[in-house]
């Protein structure tokens, strides 16, 4: 493989990474806890977009609400990680069975 081929491959890889980043920035996932009592929406850049708390949830035990918030955020982050890996794999055109290191 010559120098030109390596440069072309590097350019293609960079282009694919940019496409993947754009796709990831479009992702929005929702995590929930307490049978839907708390819902958290997170964007692909890991920013929390919204938090919804069911009316009856906040009048109870503060510790339970805090636990629900943590669980809903963790649920959203786990879903985001899975969605990100799926998007990266499809945009990067990885061969079947090849996994990304993250």
Alpha helices in the chain (DSSP H): 3-26, 62-92
* pTM of the model as a whole: 0.74
71/75 Cα distance (integer angstroms): 6
> Number of folded domains in the chain?
1
Residue 70 falls within a domain, yes or no? Answer: yes
Q: What is the CATH number of the domain that holds 33?
A: 3.30.1310.10
pLDDT digits (tens, 9 = 90+) for 64-92: 999 999 999 999 999 999 998 887 776 66
- Residue 38 domain boundaries: 28-91
Residue 100 falls within a domain, yes or no? Answer: no
Residue 5 falls within a domain, yes or no? Answer: no
Q: Is 91 exposed, middle or buried (0-12, 13-18, 19+ CB in 10 A)?
A: middle
Instruction: Note the pLDDT of residue 102.
Output: 43
pLDDT digits (tens, 9 = 90+) for 54-66: 988 777 788 999 9
91/51 Cα distance (integer angstroms): 30
Residue 16 falls within a domain, yes or no? Answer: no
Asked whether the beta carbons of 89 and 13 are under 8 A apart, the reply is no
């Amino acid at each position: 493989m010559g120098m030109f081929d390596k440069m072309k491959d590097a350019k293609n890889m960079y282009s694919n990474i940019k496409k993947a980043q754009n796709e990831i920035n479009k992702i929005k996932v929702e995590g929930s806890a307490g049978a839907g009592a708390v819902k958290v929406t997170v964007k692909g850049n890991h920013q929390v977009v919204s938090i919804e708390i069911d009316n009856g949830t906040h009048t109870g035990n503060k510790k339970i609400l805090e636990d629900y918030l943590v669980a809903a955020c963790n649920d959203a982050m786990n879903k985001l990680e899975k969605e990100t890996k799926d998007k990266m794999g499809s945009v990067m055109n990885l061969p079947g069975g090849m996994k990304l290191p993250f």
